[in-house]
Structure 1
Amino acid sequence: MSGSARSSFRLPRIPAVPLAVLVGVVLGALLVLVSGGDPVAAYREILIGALAPANWPNTLNWAVPLVGMTLVAAIPLRGGMVNLGGDGQLVVGGLVAALVPLYLPGPGPLLTIVAIIAAMIAAGLYASIAAWGETRFGIPMLISSLLLSYPAIGVASYIVGFPLRDTTTGLAQTVMIPDAARLPTISGPLNVGLILMMIVAIAVVFYDRRTVGGYELRMRGLNAKFAGYGGVSLGPQTVRIMFASGAIAGLVGAIIVLGSQYRFQDGALLSPGYTWSGLMAALLAGGEPLGATGAGLFFAALQTGGFAMQRETAIPRVLTMVLQAIIILFLAIRHGVGRRAS
């Protein structure tokens, strides 16, 4: 083979995301092997626990809030912005969703609709505070969105721990939401929240790909200064995007409270770590909504499969979180090396 032929021959380059997943799987297997476990058995149980037909409802039930919080992070990320306040926005939405059917009169189905809308508006407005702080006072939204979570979590904890606590229990939580105001069940653990989240995901993808606003957001993500020179009002756009991001977080909180917990419990919305898993899934997809939705489903399958793995093999489900971290870390390293080489 001549030199020119050899120089023109190139091995196919594996795309970054599949390569990152492959690296995560290999390193995870090595960790299991070093600790004395069987990596084949571990991954088999993950697959069965997540993808067996009998386990699909559990995977989808976990995917609803995780995909929602993935979109919460992905929408601003598409425009080069970072929303780290998902926890606070989630809590605001969940608390409002619980209080509306408890303290407002009206028929149950109407209260459910009002509770969802109120939760989305409240969380959206709360998220907009960080955007307003950046556009009006130059406070970095990366910092302010994160810091705003703490007062939201603290105030919610006080409200359900003292003035509105269910006095029949010793826990910091509200009383149970009336049956008529709860989200209707579809099958098993699944409720109407699954349909609502599907509608939201489709709407976000449509907005991103088929509207002027979505085009402007993508242009901002590529070059914010160029987008501003091209006529995009960056300040109002920042507020709108953060409101939409927070509103989805509020919807997630409402779905959990109205569809599974049936009350607001202090810390219950935060303990599963939906916000940070969603952020990792959004980073995996680079903020692209359709890819982010798929990444959210992938991480949800990992986490539900992790429960099955821990139950059947005694390997801690924290392995699945290690896999997530390895995947994101590899992507970050790979993109950094690519930029340095260029």
Structure 2
Amino acid sequence: MTTAGGLDTKSRMVAIVLSIIAAVVLGGLVVLSTGANPLSVYREIITGAVAGRGLGETLTRAVPLVGMALAAAIALRAGLVNLGGDGQMLVGGLAAALVALYLPAPGVLRAVLALLAAMCAGGLYAWIAAILQLSLAIPFLIASLLLSYIARGLTSYLVRYPLRDPSTGMPETYRVATGARLPSSILELPISWGMVIMAAVAIAVVVNDRHGVNGFEWRMTGLNARFAQYSGTNLQRQTRRVAFLSGALAGLVGALLILGQQYRFTDGALLAPGYTWSGLMAAVLAMASPIATVITSIFFSALQVGGFSMERALGLPAVLTWVLQALIILCLAARPIFLRKR
């Protein structure tokens, strides 16, 4: 017997696959217009993403991408658009760095507390945007986006002046001690603690969405907020809760990057890869379904890693993979026109 949730996920995956196929065809035409062979380009992208070291790079890049995509998907599921992922990731990353650097505690405990501090910082920062919407009628979309600019300016000032490591020429904090870092591998396997933590988060989000009362209420609110309110859902409390959880996920991503890869907070380093906007595109492509969001995020990660490999091998700009991502989203947006029921 197929459940409604299974049908929902199946229909979403069919739409995603059709959008990807259409985008691949259109992307091939774009590549062809540059004089390159589309088959060679796609072959190099696939090979670079899954062969040799490419697979490890794809999985490593997928950790923050999955986190930011789930942060966006949680909000979208409940009818909110969180454009403040950059700011929430920044405050979370800085909070993790400060705890890891200055808290007088054993290394492992310090790392755990740094992760918790990052989640609290990111969650509270998104919670402010929810309060602005509920109290001053400022849309969450606008408030979260504007708060990102404040976070960017504030964190930049802090790492350039009071928190700066004077021994380096970069605007960055001191380096986190080895004991407070997340190990890059587990039992000498090519699996990092960041992958394990993000996998646990993804499972929790999927289980809550499929079987939790909160997940059901979020879906109902996203579909019809007025109906959800009439059925007994406290929309104000839900908005605050969803905003906090979405921001907490973004803050966790910042902490994983600081403690597991960069080991210090460097001005602009967290934002340079564009995880927030890639994650938002993945969530939109997946139509906020958690399972589809995880799959789409890994696909985007492979696409980006393969793009860098294609650039090295063929001399074509890796930005072509961003064009392909945009085409996929556009094809998904056009799907109702082509699949409209009579």
CA distance in 2, matches of 1:123, 1:74: 16
CA distance in 1, matches of 2:31, 2:37: 7
Q: Given residue 39 of structure 1, which amino acid in structure 2 is its aligned partner?
A: P
Number of residue-to-residue matches in the alignment: 328
Using the TM superposition, name which of 311-320 and 185-194 deviates more: 185-194
The aligned residue for residue 8 of structure 2 is: none
The aligned residue for residue 205 of structure 1 is: 206
Q: Find out whether 1:316 has 2:317 as its counterpart.
A: yes
Q: Given residue 336 of structure 2, which amino acid in structure 1 is its aligned partner?
A: H
* Shift in Å, 1:184: 1.1
TM-score w.r.t. length of structure 1: 0.93
The aligned residue for residue 68 of structure 2 is: 69
Task: Output one character per residue of 1:7-33: Cα deviation in whole Å (capped at 9) or x when no partner.
Answer: xxxxxxx94222211111111111111
The aligned residue for residue 303 of structure 1 is: 304
Task: Output one character per residue of 1:74-112: Cα deviation in whole Å (capped at 9) or x when no partner.
Answer: 001111210000000000011011111211111111100
**Rg larger for:** 1
Q: Percent identity?
A: 56
CA distance in 2, matches of 1:170, 1:189: 32
The aligned residue for residue 138 of structure 2 is: 139
Q: Given residue 71 of structure 1, which amino acid in structure 2 is its aligned partner?
A: L
CA distance in 2, matches of 1:242, 1:329: 27
SS in 2 for 1:185: coil
The aligned residue for residue 117 of structure 1 is: 116
CA distance in 1, matches of 2:24, 2:261: 32
Q: Given residue 166 of structure 2, which amino acid in structure 1 is its aligned partner?
A: T
Q: Given residue 196 of structure 1, which amino acid in structure 2 is its aligned partner?
A: I
Q: Given residue 197 of structure 1, which amino acid in structure 2 is its aligned partner?
A: M
TM-score w.r.t. length of structure 2: 0.93
* Shift in Å, 1:191: 2.2
Q: Given residue 137 of structure 1, which amino acid in structure 2 is its aligned partner?
A: L
The aligned residue for residue 283 of structure 1 is: 284
CA distance in 1, matches of 2:21, 2:338: 18
The aligned residue for residue 251 of structure 1 is: 252
* Shift in Å, 1:185: 1.8
The aligned residue for residue 165 of structure 2 is: 166
Task: Output one character per residue of 1:145-201: Cα deviation in whole Å (capped at 9) or x when no partner.
Answer: 111101111000000001111101121100110011000121587520110000000
* Shift in Å, 1:338: 6.3
Q: Find out whether 1:271 has 2:277 as its counterpart.
A: no
CA contact (8 A) 1:58 1:189 kept: no
Q: Given residue 298 of structure 1, which amino acid in structure 2 is its aligned partner?
A: F
Cα-Cα RMSD:
1.6
The aligned residue for residue 34 of structure 2 is: 35
Q: Find out whether 1:241 has 2:242 as its counterpart.
A: yes
CA distance in 2, matches of 1:232, 1:165: 47
Q: Given residue 66 of structure 1, which amino acid in structure 2 is its aligned partner?
A: L
> Which runs of no fewer than 5 residues in structure 1 stay unpaired?
1-13
CA distance in 2, matches of 1:65, 1:324: 17
Using the TM superposition, name which of 23-32 and 234-243 deviates more: 23-32
Q: Find out whether 1:48 has 2:63 as its counterpart.
A: no
CA contact (8 A) 2:54 2:306 kept: no
CA distance in 2, matches of 1:172, 1:274: 21
The aligned residue for residue 182 of structure 1 is: 181
SS in 2 for 1:266: coil
CA contact (8 A) 1:88 1:150 kept: yes
CA distance in 2, matches of 1:263, 1:317: 27
* Shift in Å, 1:297: 0.6
The aligned residue for residue 82 of structure 2 is: 83
CA contact (8 A) 1:90 1:249 kept: yes
Task: Output one character per residue of 1:280-336: Cα deviation in whole Å (capped at 9) or x when no partner.
Answer: 000001101111111101100101111111111111111111000011112123336
